[in-house]
Structure 1
């Protein structure tokens, strides 16, 4: 048991620790401004965090524990029994604080933004109408008597005076913060509450004589030390360009100098878009830019968002190295944040070294029941090389000072999900870096644009990295950030010229006089590659004759690689990659590798490592290697191919694939492949008719962009593109509205555009249902009613909200025979599938993602093994039980797992 006043003071004392030892300078600055000037921000912050639970001073809450209720009644406060009627204390607090602040003479505009922070501290912001008690018990749950109203006022008043205010009127802020700042502050309130609600560090006090702010401060200081919490780098001095050498071991390239100089010229926090070719060093550029922006505008950490889990892992290592150079020991404050981080060896080694519980514990918390705390004992805090264990809990990862994860972490901050305020609190006060932003399709882009609006309003510096962007996409990103910064529905007018060259930087920010911009370009550090473009036609009938469509690729590579060399073959579907692999394997044997998303986790990790080793840069002769891959090899995949064979894809993605060609200058290459060449297939364009394009490719990308890309390819066939010099022009041609297709294709293009445009609008409309802000409500000034309809569902479903497409499901492969179950390697499990601790990683290594067409059957037919149901990591994992021949069936589908091919869906069962 804990007295209410004690918890309010404990939370306020934790808030003081957060202010002193965690908050970014930029956050403190706006809080000081809101509170009324220097010296007022810290106390106001402690007050708003501590007052969050005032709604517990109501019969609705006090009657929940019979023992405590008797003591309350004994004091003279009574209530009428209301049966099963309940009223949440967070909403009761919203009503209570509105009444008390109104009686204290607060201005309506300040009451209007304060009460949602109280009413929303359990994760959802109600409307003012939702603060009402259930009709049948109205008045009885809040306390109808004069005594209750006096007690409620006294709780707020006594707490306020304990913090050093003379009265409630003195607490009233000077100005209303922006809506984004309110969301940020709300997340910090939740953070303080969760820490102060941990009974291991704040045991109950039931004697009022032991309750005081000084006692709570002592408890909070001990808890902070015990938890090992800390902020980021604190204050930084603006680094010069010479620091680049110290950070990365070599001097900056011209494009890197250009970006660093640009961010030094910005008149305020803003948006920086860096467009540069593959291999230009954009990641290093962004980290130095983040240092400069943080030093200039008071950020205290960084979030680096990557397009996929696989691309996040190598950047995690790089960010840790950089962080240690910025401030010794800071590398220990970098968290890896994605659903497969358990398989990252560096991350797991850091946790094991720190003596932490297994990483699977941290996602199993019920926030409403346990305030986000896990049940394990933290023990003594030692010198750690991993972030504090508290940060690793459910929904708290972004609060870690430095974070590397998937872009989904930011996209989810733009969704109307429970505890979204924790995501904003984790992003605000940092510099946000997002890589490969061109990879965001129209659906994901809605969440990206919404996120940029909120970050712009919160004055968060954002650095976006891309190989290149279509002009319309660049403009949309800029407009979203500026609209947020200006707190308007529409962006302020800004003349934004296209970069005059490549690489380029576009920087925008808002000043009192209006939006400002800086657009620069410079030469690349290496000369353009002259990429020969060839077409290997694929006839329509080959879609129905599987052997035919691979023969031409086999013949081509047999000719080009007869003296050796390394080839990359990218297919648009897994089935097509498997088929191509079979044909090439028959000709080239062990020289052929296969990499796609239907390999289980262990095989995929091993294949990726092998591919990077065999196709990596080398000054010595490399063994002949052919890597057949899907889009996994399209971006952030550091291989150096001598020749590329690829299915037709939209021009920006095609150029990404071309970026795997001849990436390094000093690699010895056989004569047949000494000049870079890309061979396009998966379509056929002869005569005056619009081309036939592989139906599977059209299903993924749509016919419209593929037609326009095919037109550029056919126009340059047997000639070349200069890459990266021509990249911006090629992308602008396909994504612009100027004619690029031959006249004979015009009617087909019009039909394709109509379908594409309707599909784009439908996907935009679908995303709108989940966005944090409803259409035309960006100018709202408070958080009231933000959760007008909560986005619900399991974690896997919530993650899928920000990525469009058919649903897919991951399963864990196990082998079943008459003796029971075994891992994918054949090692035995318990009779019901129980997993010994030393086999857990091996079991999880058998995780594989099923194709979308099997998702429905898997959801209804596959369940965890009985021995997994109480396991913290496996209890939600579906087991795919394979017979001794490695086969299984789902609904009408026959499937098997092949060691070479991965998961194979053979055909429909008869």
Structure 2
């Protein structure tokens, strides 16, 4: 054990010198008398004492031969204690370190801010009760010779690292909770590396300092990203995104770079701009400037969904490849990352580079960054859940904190967070503020109250208080960039595109109403986008259009929603971009109709001539309107030359609109009625994009909303329901919400009491999103005794699949991508067990030998594409996706 501790000391020094970014070093050292010098020394000392608790009866009794040898040397045993798990070695180590520091004149409260790192190095700090009880567990600790052995080793390590002369000054420097978190995470990383027996074999005859240097080279972890000063914003823009020499940086992008260069200290930047303004490029340019100026070692880009994260990963990878200084290692952070081709290519480069050196010139995905270690990579792209889980009580959450503290954090489409997710987002911003992490938030449609909440959350993390509206320079202009703290005023930003006048009209909800509009609008051609709030509505409408005989179902119609298996959905999105993308990048059809759900409003750069949409909250409606006449075109068919948005999904015939039931279930009636009212107040039903966006969103989310005359009672009832729903969401989110960085406790004791289950992948995502429990399954087709891949899956469609033996690796990977999340309606009302029973019957022994397929649930379809599950008929085809129908007589 002594050798492992000295190995850990050596690794900790290398971790500090070659892996931790300068900014993180400064954070850890800020509370220490001698700054960075003390920070490095303290990390080495903590790494050197982290396993001191293994010198205890509770731990040492586990190996009888070793226990006998220790007994013969005077470390006596009286058998294996029945309650040995009551004193884990981390907790025993805390007792030993507390006693050691108190013997050197430390007060107990200060000592505990250091010893808690030892107690927490396996990812879970002890509870307050466990800390109080531990010193009294003499039978598990061992006294006499046990005490002396622990003290001797503590003395030896303290002398070895050169910390003895620092103890007196440290005794007057309690560590703040955020520093305890980062030191614990660094100690965990150190322990994991030093415990690797391929790098540090189990022997004691070696010089740890020398061996650690060779081991570090063999491990080959890339150094933190260190961006160097480059050219001005205009040239920087062209270089990073491979643009022509005459390409001009957009005003929004130039302003983000200017403000990033002007900040006196790290802070929060909120970028609000229309769809298509280049917010992503603006954020990456700002992130590069912020990382350079404040010594940050990477970037974390978070998006709402796996699909948008996959698309962003390619864009960020291209940007990273164009950096003059190597960005190091990249990581894709979501549950299906292993199915991403670009990420897999980078992983293969990472495997090939192991043992060569740690100064890679190419961007790679290093093999060490897997699982919980993945977000520690320099450049990370992932779903917003991966950021929100930094505010979730769960084992090893301190690693997520270190991952974020090392980076500039960029979060796109923050308006999409509901009250449940916002609870985690705001707490996360508090911690990012405590770490002084530069943060860039982006949205096209952000309500003012939400903007203020985000700013105040970050401020609470920085100084424990929050500002009011008067303390924050926020103007009702659009586009705009809000920065805090800043001594530099943001300048007005001109939209780079033209303004579009959009006429808003009501439309009946019958299929016939939609057909009538299409017949009138498309005699000369045109592209129509139809957005529905539920998959069932989208499928119903698409089927009606297909069966009407008025459109070519192969060339003129397309359905897109979330209930396609991933390869089928990706193919549809690719086709949409190819047909409806920007001029010069798409082969636009003469006549085309895309029917979809909310997936159309998120990050798809498509352009339609006419928009038909279900009534939705005003911010989301405007996101959808952003796809209408999105790009400047030389000509559009005469009947769609003017931008029109027709809103259905409600009964407009009465004094007050009545939204359809499905939309109310998704969005709540209050937000739908507010949107209808806000739009009805517009003279002549006319709005201008982007100029009217901030005012419309502000009206739709006003704290004191004034209902139109005659709507008062319906709106009041809806508002009460919405308020109760939001309150319930926040209470529910609070169950596993991490505490604040300051004020609640002086140490990490009890930090994770009542923690959430330690779950990665979709289970972890569900913990920070409010939704009903659902099930994901791989979809296959059975014909007699044989199982086949679904049709139209690239390279493997219709392929026979082995079930008694393991499928070939590439086939197994293709199958792993053919998953679908079953609708929540299927598992409601106590049907979860029935659904699981049905799916678990489709158990293939050969699949359990494949890491891609082991343990996965399987939905078997018959030759007609159907299956019976929990009294419902499920049918899947490549045109409509998954449909669900309740059977009158359950089978």
Matches of 1:31 and 1:709, distance apart in 2: 48
Partner of 1:536: 507
Trace 1:97-246 onto structure 2 (pairs within 5 A): 97-131=97-131, 138-145=137-144, 147-166=145-164, 169=167, 172=170, 175-205=173-203, 207=204, 210=205, 215-234=207-226, 236-237=228-229, 240-242=232-234, 243-246=236-239
1:672 corresponds, among 639, 658, 671, to: 639
Please give the residue correspondences for 1:566-581 in structure 2 after superposition, counting only pairs within 5 Å.
566-581=527-542
SS at match of 2:765: helix
Q: Using the TM superposition, name which of 298-307 and 378-387 deviates more.
A: 378-387
- Of 813, 819, 824, the match for 1:847: 819
Q: Distance in 1 between matches of 2:754 and 2:451?
A: 31
Secondary structure of 2:472's aligned partner: coil
Change (3 A) 1:570 1:492: closer
Provide the residue aligned with 1:654 in structure 2: 621
Counterpart of 1:505? 481
Deviation at 1:343, TM superposition (A): 2.8
1:39 counterpart SS class: helix
Tell me, yes or no, if structure 1 residue 408 matches structure 2 residue 385.
yes
Shift of 1:239: 5.8
Does the 8 A contact of 1:52 with 1:121 survive in 2? Answer: yes
Moved more, 223-232 or 298-307: 223-232
Answering whether residue 520 of structure 2 is matched by residue 559 of structure 1, we say yes
For structure 1, which segment, 321-330 or 809-818, has the greater mean C-alpha deviation from structure 2 after superposition? 321-330
Change (3 A) 1:491 1:8: farther
Range that drifts further, 603-612 or 315-324: 315-324
Q: Check the 8 A contact 2:93/2:118 in 1, yes or no.
A: yes
Question: Contact 1:733–1:740 (CA<8 Å) still a contact in 2?
Answer: no
After TM superposition, list the pairs within 5 Å mapping 1:416-565 onto structure 2. 416-488=393-465, 495-509=471-485, 518-538=489-509, 549-565=510-526
Distance 1:355-1:498 versus aligned 2 partners, 3 A rule:
closer
Tell me what 2:755 maps to: 790
Per-residue displacement from partner, 1:132-188 (whole Å, max 9, x unpaired)? 6689x931210122x111111111110111112345725836633432232122111
| Deviation of the 1:719 alpha carbon | 3.4
SS in 2 for 1:680: strand
Deviates more, 1:817-826 or 1:873-882: 817-826
Cα distance per residue 1:438-460 (max 9 Å; x no partner): 11111100000000000101111
Determine if contact 1:865/1:878 at 8 Å carries over to the other structure: no
Shift of 1:598: 0.7
Of 324, 327, 335, the match for 2:324: 327
| 2:794 alignment counterpart | none
2:15: which partner in 1? Answer: 18
The equivalent of 1:272 in structure 2 is 269
CA contact (8 A) 2:257 2:282 kept: yes
Structure-2 separation of matches of 1:560 and 1:221: 71
Cα deviation for residue 386 of structure 1 reads 5.4
Q: 1:327 to 1:53 in 2, by over 3 A?
A: farther
Question: Structure 2 CA distance, aligned partners of 1:74 and 1:691?
Answer: 85
Q: Separation in 2 of the partners of 1:523 and 1:168? A: 56
Q: CA deviation at 1:794?
A: 4.0
Query: Match for residue 543 of structure 1?
Result: none
Q: Does structure 2 retain, via aligned residues, the 8 Å contact 1:350–1:385?
A: no
TM-aligned CA deviation for residue 848 of structure 1: 0.9
**Cα deviations across residues 547-574 of structure 1 (Å, max 9, x unaligned)?**
xx22221221222122222111111111
User: Alpha carbons of 1:134 and 1:65: their partners in 2 closer, same or farther (altered >3 Å)?
Assistant: same
Q: CA deviation at 1:66?
A: 1.6
2:867 — aligned with what?
888
Distance in 2, Cα, partners of 1:380 & 1:253: 42
Once the two structures are TM-superposed, the CA of residue 319 in structure 1 deviates from its matched residue by 1.5
SS of corresponding position for 1:744? coil
| Aligned partner of 1:700 among 660, 663, 666 | 666
Q: Which residue of 2 aligns with 1:771?
A: 737
Tell me the TM-score normalized by structure 2.
Answer: 0.92
Aligned to 1:906: 885
Q: How many residues align?
A: 860
Answer whether contact 2:122 2:396 (CA < 8 A) is retained: yes
C-alpha distance in 1 between matches for 2:491 and 2:671: 29
* Cα distance change of structure 1 residues 95 and 860 upon mapping to structure 2, 3 Å threshold: farther
Task: Evaluate the alpha carbon distance shift between residue 293 and residue 41 of structure 1 in structure 2; reply closer, same or farther with a 3 A threshold.
Answer: same
Partner Cα distance (1:739, 1:68) in 2: 73
Equivalent positions of 1:751-900 (< 5 A) are 751-773=717-739, 778-792=743-757, 794-795=759-760, 796-824=762-790, 825-832=797-804, 834-855=806-827, 856=832, 857-863=834-840, 864-900=843-879
SS of equivalent residue, structure 1 residue 41: helix
8 Å CA contact retained: 1:612, 1:638: yes
Determine helix, strand or coil for the equivalent of 2:859.
Answer: strand
Query: Which residue number in structure 1 is paired with residue 604 of structure 2?
Result: 637
In structure 1, distance between residues paired with 2:601 and 2:491: 28
Distance across 1 between alignment mates of 2:767 and 2:517: 42
Query: 2: CA distance between counterparts of 1:186 and 1:520?
Result: 42
| CA positional deviation for 1:709 | 0.6
Q: Structure 2: how far apart are the matches of 1:134 and 1:169?
A: 24
Is the 1:882–1:888 contact (alpha carbons within 8 Å) kept by the matching residues of 2?
A: yes
Task: Report the Cα distance in structure 2 between the residues aligned to 1:517 and 1:442, rounded to whole angstroms.
Answer: 32
